[in-house]
Amino acid sequence: MLLLEVYVIESDGGKINQMELKNKTIFVTGAAGFIGSNLVRELLETQSPINIIGIDNLNDYYDVSIKEWRLEEIEKTANEHRESMWTFIKGSIADRETIDKIFKNYCPDIVVNLAAQAGVRYSITNPDVYIEANLIGFYNILEACRHSYDNGAKGVEHLVYASSSSVYGTNKKVPYSTDDKVDNPVSLYAATKKSNELMAHAYSKLYNIPSTGLRFFTVYGPAGRPDMAYFGFTNKLLKGETIQIFNYGNCKRDFTYVDDIVEGVKRVMQAPPEKKNGEDGLPIPPYKVYNIGNNQPENLLDFVTILQEELIRAEVLPADYDFESHKELVAMQPGDVPVTYADTSALEHDFGFKPNTSLREGLRRFAEWYKEFYLN
């Protein structure tokens, strides 16, 4: 007989069942990625003893040394928590054989799919890799979850996967709510993320796989992705190059600090949607989608001002740096949207949690990390 360790927490929205993560086996894809690596470290630090298997293909979409540094940080954390197990596998989720072998050997209780080819603009020039990682890769994960129940096995208790705020496209209504229609993506990247939600819903319905999609809003922080604006701007300013600010600065982004994202993921992992049948006796899909954003969009020009102040404070740039001569206001790029703004009320209601790291605090931590990583 299967015994699930479950406890109840109080949230602003009442009581929801929470599953204990300790002693669970967790499979994290994209484990050397920005969110994935931070999640692994957080789980080791707060949920030990725990067994974590991570996979990443360590591709060169951006500087691999950052991914290697993240893995080194995970190793340090794992060494401080010897009661836990950390296993890293270099491989691609698009390789069906690799995924099937991991599920067979480790029998994960919870799967967190954070592996994806990221980037809106890159999807316009390199569409193939998005189909491979975001569609075929996710299909392989879903199939492995489906077959985890074969022969009466306990199988996967919860599949959590990364979606994106990009699914909202050019929706005019803000803040973006998970109740809004998201049928008009403006990039292939956004289309693959919407496809992930649809595929997960189908598998939840057909095979009763509890799944939760998380629409992340503009994640930033130390050791983030160099293709993100705050990181790319810093690199260019340091080289004396000009930074381009799109839509003439009239863009707003719901910048969300990585620690807040990770806390949201951790809480969601513990609360799989309930399995139950409808009046027809068939499963009601155990399926949920949440926004995780700061619920506070910032104007790009204000963001650049705070970034430059924090780069000076951290001594990444000199106090007399001439920012005005290194800024260029340009038109909107294909695939971009003018505003992202998360309605996080469902997350608050179900988990009593709302991201709350201020942009200045987050960019300060990034600037301090940047100096340590690149300049010391």
* pLDDT one-digit tens code per residue, 153-181: 999 999 999 999 999 998 989 999 999 99
Closest to 116 measured CA to CA, from 132, 102, 105:
132
So where are the chain's domains?
A: 6-219+256-295+338-356
Summarize the confidence of residues 291-312 as an average pLDDT: 95
Closest to 187 measured CA to CA, from 363, 335, 362, 350:
335
Q: Residue 14: is its pLDDT beyond 50?
A: no
Summarize the confidence of residues 293-308 as an average pLDDT: 94
φ and ψ of 24, to 5 deg = -90, 160
Lowest average pLDDT, out of 52-61, 159-168, 280-289, goes to 280-289
Q: Which class for 307: exposed (0-12), middle (13-18), buried (19 or more C-beta within 10 A)?
A: buried
What's this model's pTM, rounded to 2 decimal places?
0.93
Asked if 159 and 200 count as a contact pair (C-beta separation under 8 A), the reply is yes
Distances, alpha carbon 126 to alpha carbons 96, 117, 136, 222, 277, in Å:
22, 10, 16, 27, 42
Q: Residue 213: is its pLDDT beyond 60?
A: yes
**Could you tell me the pLDDT band of residue 266, with boundaries at 50, 70 and 90?**
very high
pLDDT score, position 121: 82
pLDDT digits (tens, 9 = 90+) for 98-131: 999 999 999 999 999 999 998 888 888 999 999 9
Residue 183 gets which letter from DSSP?
Answer: -
What mean pLDDT is reported for the chain?
93
Q: Residue 55: is its pLDDT beyond 90?
A: yes
Closest to 33 measured CA to CA, from 115, 92, 133, 120:
115
Q: Residue 4: is its pLDDT beyond 60?
A: no
**Could you tell me the pLDDT band of residue 18, with boundaries at 50, 70 and 90?**
confident
Query: So what CATH class is 6-219+256-295+338-356?
Result: alpha beta
Assess whether 189 carries a catalytic annotation. Answer: yes
Summarize the confidence of residues 195-217 as an average pLDDT: 97
Which two tokens mark 373?
Answer: 């990583």
Percent residues over pLDDT 90 in the chain: 86
**Could you tell me the pLDDT band of residue 7, with boundaries at 50, 70 and 90?**
very low
Distances, alpha carbon 89 to alpha carbons 31, 99, 115, 191, in Å:
9, 10, 13, 28
Distances, alpha carbon 221 to alpha carbons 61, 217, 340, in Å:
18, 13, 18
pLDDT score, position 6: 42
Enumerate residues 6+ apart whose C-beta is below 8 A from 114: 28, 29, 30, 31, 33, 35, 36, 39, 161, 162
Catalytic residue among 61, 161, 168, 189: 189
pLDDT digits (tens, 9 = 90+) for 25-48: 999 999 999 999 999 999 999 999
